[in-house]
Amino acid sequence: MLKAPALVLTIGTKPSCGIVGTIGAALKAQSMDVYEQIQRDEGGSRLKPYLDCCGRSWSECECPVKGKLSIGVGRNLDDCGITATEGHLLFRHDVAAAKADVNARLPWAAPALDDARYGVLVNMCFNMGIGRLMSFQRMFEAMRRQEWQQAADELMDSNYARQVEDRARRLSEQMRSGRWH
């Protein structure tokens, strides 16, 4: 007699990665758990916010009545938001990503700078993204020459500084002094 798993065709390394065929589908339905069921019913996971009325982003939605803003597997951001723990987890992940971007695009920075000045780069990358940070070439040149006042001045002589005034002033002082502000 054949064992039931011998009838299951899989894609991936385990049956939950996808089953093909009617016998497999029937077996899968019997072994499905609530997580798999909800994920299937919600249409899978979405990594960018969408509206639950049509599955589109807010700007693309043409529905007469807008649905709830959702993310992931049906996470209702309008009513539930995120928890403090989830917010902290996202924040830590985003800071780690900013550090990785700085390290990849400015490999000289981490070994050459003290923590406070390196922190300026990570803070700016977190706030504006690595693409915009990379436009601060004169600031980088001054940093490589350890001309901290010039680097601080270059930071302040930017659209960025005009947009985030207080933050830019603090970061500029941190660049100049090498102390956290």
The torsion angles phi and psi of 175, rounded to 5 degrees, stand at: -65, -45
Report the distance separating Cα 120 and Cα 160, nearest Å: 13
Mention the CATH class of domain 84-177. Answer: mainly alpha
Q: Are 36 and 46 in contact (CB under 8 A)?
A: no
Distance of CA 36 to the CA centre of its chain: 24
Q: What is the mean pLDDT of residues 11-22?
A: 37
Handedness of CA 100, 117, 137, 157 (dihedral sign): positive
pLDDT tens string 46-105: 899 988 888 888 889 999 998 999 999 989 999 999 999 999 999 999 999 999 999 999
Question: What residues contact 73, with CB distance under 8 A and at least 6 apart?
Answer: 38, 39, 42, 44, 45, 46
* One-letter amino acid of 140: F
Question: What's the pLDDT score for residue 29?
Answer: 59
Rounded to whole angstroms, the maximal C-alpha distance in the chain is 81
Report the distance separating Cα 20 and Cα 12, nearest Å: 12
Question: What residues contact 150, with CB distance under 8 A and at least 6 apart?
Answer: 142
CA angle 118, 172, 98 (to 5 degrees): 35
pLDDT tens string 109-136: 999 999 999 999 999 999 999 999 999 9
Question: What's the pLDDT score for residue 8?
Answer: 35
pLDDT tens string 154-166: 999 999 999 999 9
Question: What's the pLDDT score for residue 22?
Answer: 44
Where are the domains positioned within the chain?
1-32, 44-81, 84-177
Question: What's the pLDDT score for residue 42?
Answer: 85
